[in-house]
């Protein structure tokens, strides 16, 4: 059997995320790329669910990047993420329209919302997926995620319950090209007051330093590994990152040793990243780490082992002592300034 599977006409939904400036988060467009592939394979429409009050252009952009329909849930109470409110209104919408699949990003919001929603809808959820496919024989959603510390890739199905639900790692796919000729429906929906839980009040938002330098959205990442030898030597990475306006990443072993927090970890058991430039320093290239950064546009590696696996995927490599190379690199950067 080839071509697209013809199933019932229930939709694929993506849950869009809006930032505090009422702009689309990049992950919303990544989800549409995932959803578009699934919807085309199943021959159904793709809908984006939007909560709150983004700009009109933001809604139109969702159509330009792949959505056929926008369910726009309007309420001032939805401007800020409160899990009970988001879960209530999406549950109500899902029971009316019966989507076949709902996917969200494996972000703080998605990881909080989707378990709550799956309980409400009495269905399963696979978290932190790196890939989504449609099974040829059954038309079921195949939800692929790392398991057992990233040592195997599990393939999970939801054969009986609907909707099939999953969260997807940010930066695990590139958004589709923007197509301003695409047409779609924007359906404003006034949220019923009874669905809004008033027990929780949003007081304010204060981003942490780590949120301000989130590696999952960075265009330039400098990552350090075991080759740094001790925690104090991470200062070399931080200094270089400041000079190059880059975010700081790390291998799993560096995080496990307590040298840096988990929010910096790159790999299957950390974050999947897709920057324009990825500079790996003292990282040998374990398969779990490579899986989390191999889609970077340009990969540069510095390692004293010329046979290190990181060089197999690097666009540029320097085989040598990082403690000699980094000072030279910093000096050259200072001279250019």
> The pTM is what?
0.71
Token pair 């057992």 in the structure block, residue: 148
pLDDT in tens, the chain (337 residues): 334 443 446 899 999 998 878 888 889 999 999 999 999 999 999 999 999 888 888 999 999 999 999 999 988 888 888 889 999 999 999 999 999 999 999 888 998 999 999 999 999 999 988 889 998 888 899 998 877 655 678 888 898 899 999 999 887 788 999 999 999 999 999 888 888 877 878 777 766 555 445 787 788 999 999 999 999 999 999 999 998 999 999 999 999 999 998 889 998 778 888 889 999 999 999 988 998 888 888 999 999 999 999 999 999 999 999 999 999 998 888 887 7
Q: Measured between alpha carbons, how far is residue 127 from residues 51, 113, 124, 166, 212 in Å?
A: 21, 11, 10, 6, 24
Q: What is the 3-state secondary structure (H, E, C) of 188-231?
A: EEECCHHHCCCCCCCCCCCCCHHHHCCHHHCCEEEEECHHHCCH
Region 12-195: CATH code? 3.40.50.620
Given a contact cutoff of 8 angstroms between Cβ atoms, the answer to whether 248 and 218 are in contact is: no
Q: Is 34 helix (H, G, I), strand (E, B) or coil?
A: helix
Given a contact cutoff of 8 angstroms between Cβ atoms, the answer to whether 217 and 249 are in contact is: no
Annotated domain spans of the chain: 12-195, 209-336
Provide the 10 A C-beta neighbour count for residue 120.
Answer: 15
Region 209-336: CATH code? 3.40.50.1220
Looking at the chain, how many residues does it have? Answer: 337
Q: Do domains 12-195 and 209-336 have the same CATH topology?
A: yes
């Amino acid at each position: 059997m080839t071509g697209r599977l013809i199933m019932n006409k229930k939709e694929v939904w993506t849950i869009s995320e809006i930032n505090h400036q009422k702009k689309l988060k990049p992950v919303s467009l990544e989800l549409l790329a995932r959803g578009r592939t699934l919807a085309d394979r199943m021959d159904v429409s793709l809908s984006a669910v939007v909560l709150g009050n983004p700009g009109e252009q933001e809604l139109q952009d969702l159509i330009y990047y792949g959505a056929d329909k926008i369910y726009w849930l309007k309420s001032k109470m939805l401007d800020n993420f409160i899990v009970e409110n988001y879960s209530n209104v999406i549950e109500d919408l899902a029971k009316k329209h019966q989507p076949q699949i709902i996917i969200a990003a494996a972000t703080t919001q998605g990881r909080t919302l989707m378990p709550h929603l799956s309980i409400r809808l009495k269905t399963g959820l696979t978290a932190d997926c790196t890939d989504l496919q449609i099974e040829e024989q059954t038309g079921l959603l195949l939800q692929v995620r790392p398991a057992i510390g990233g040592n195997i890739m599990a393939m999970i199905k939801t054969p009986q319950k609907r909707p099939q639900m999953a969260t997807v790692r940010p930066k695990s796919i590139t958004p589709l090209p923007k197509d301003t000729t695409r047409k779609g429906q924007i359906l404003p929906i006034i949220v019923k007051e009874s669905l809004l839980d008033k027990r929780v009040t949003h007081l304010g938002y204060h981003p942490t330093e780590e949120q301000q330098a989130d590696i999952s959205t960075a265009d330039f990442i400098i990552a350090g590994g075991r080759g740094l030898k001790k925690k104090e030597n991470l200062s070399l990475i931080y200094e270089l990152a400041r000079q190059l306006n880059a975010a700081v990443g790390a291998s799993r072993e560096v995080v496990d040793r307590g040298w840096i927090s988990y929010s910096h970890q790159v790999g299957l058991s950390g974050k999947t990243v897709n920057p324009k430039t990825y500079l790996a320093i003292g990282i040998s290239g374990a398969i779990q780490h490579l899986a989390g950064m191999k889609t970077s546009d340009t990969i540069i590696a510095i390692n004293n082992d010329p046979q290190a696996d990181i060089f197999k995927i690097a666009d540029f490599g320097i085989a040598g002592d990082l403690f000699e190379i980094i000072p030279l690199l910093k000096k050259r950067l200072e001279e250019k300034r």
